[in-house]
Structure 1
């Protein structure tokens, strides 16, 4: 299979030139456009998640030789979660080369966090199958290096940290409420509110509920820790 000019440009942004171009094409193919002769990227996503996990686990260990497992696990989780994969996908403009069905395209699929995160994992698997572990490792580290270096010592996600804060004070778990949904159907923006049993709350707005909840939880936790 020959790559289009856009796909070749994506190779450059990614940092890997494929010997088997069909692997890249498959990694970019969403189930909304797949067929018996055009397989989607779901199996590659499964593999890519594991390859990414191994690369990041090694990197986290190398970055802090003294950290205990209890500190390493939150850092690892922060680096491999779907939101982080989607962030990397946006940076390399993966959405512009995703192969989507018409309905998914019309509903803003090229910007959806889940689709971008899944496709990023599939692309990592395609690199692994095309060039081996070292090739995949080099690409992952090139796009995750700054995130690894800047990771907080305590890298628990905000919702987990807020829940632990509440549990330590014998509060009920925090609740999350959708306050508003704005924008067109293909690119909604959500305002979510995090609430604690003591009546404290904070709001945040983001293109996905999960991101908005995390931001609201972070803001509320920061406020509680200052009081």
Structure 2
């Protein structure tokens, strides 16, 4: 009889311990679930806050764009009105101002006297034509401002042929790159520019002299 009582006691004890452990496990699981829910709620609030900030910035950008568009329209109306009061010479000068020409020897702009010295045997000549991207002029006006014919015809290399000639084409810029290599020291290389290009580059001479040391 005593053995039966002891056995029943042990069984009840094991059952109590098991139920207690299950209860504790359920409580721990519930606590973990609550923490996960709280973390998700915090993340949602952070994302909602970021979305509000982005919406505010987007609204500011929309206002800025609208202001730019209004300024652009006002500027364009002014140009259209002002053009009507220009005479032929002013009309041409305005069109010319939209076209920009540059000539660089080894990344150096050519001085007005056309004389430049280079301490290199390898270098490049860059000749480019660029149309102003801010041009608000009608197409029939600014197309009258570029150099006559093909612009590359306004530059001639007189003495030494380049090793290679590359053409670069962009949306508003085109350029020719003339590559020279292994030129002997104490050499002079001459370029000739047309009267039109001379005027556009602000030069005092049609002959550009490049002296290689």
Q: TM-score range by the shorter chain?
A: under 0.3
Of Structure 1 and Structure 2, which has the larger fraction of its residues in strand?
Answer: 2
Q: Quick check: which has more Rg, 1 or 2?
A: 2
Tell me the TM-score normalised to structure 1 length.
Answer: 0.22
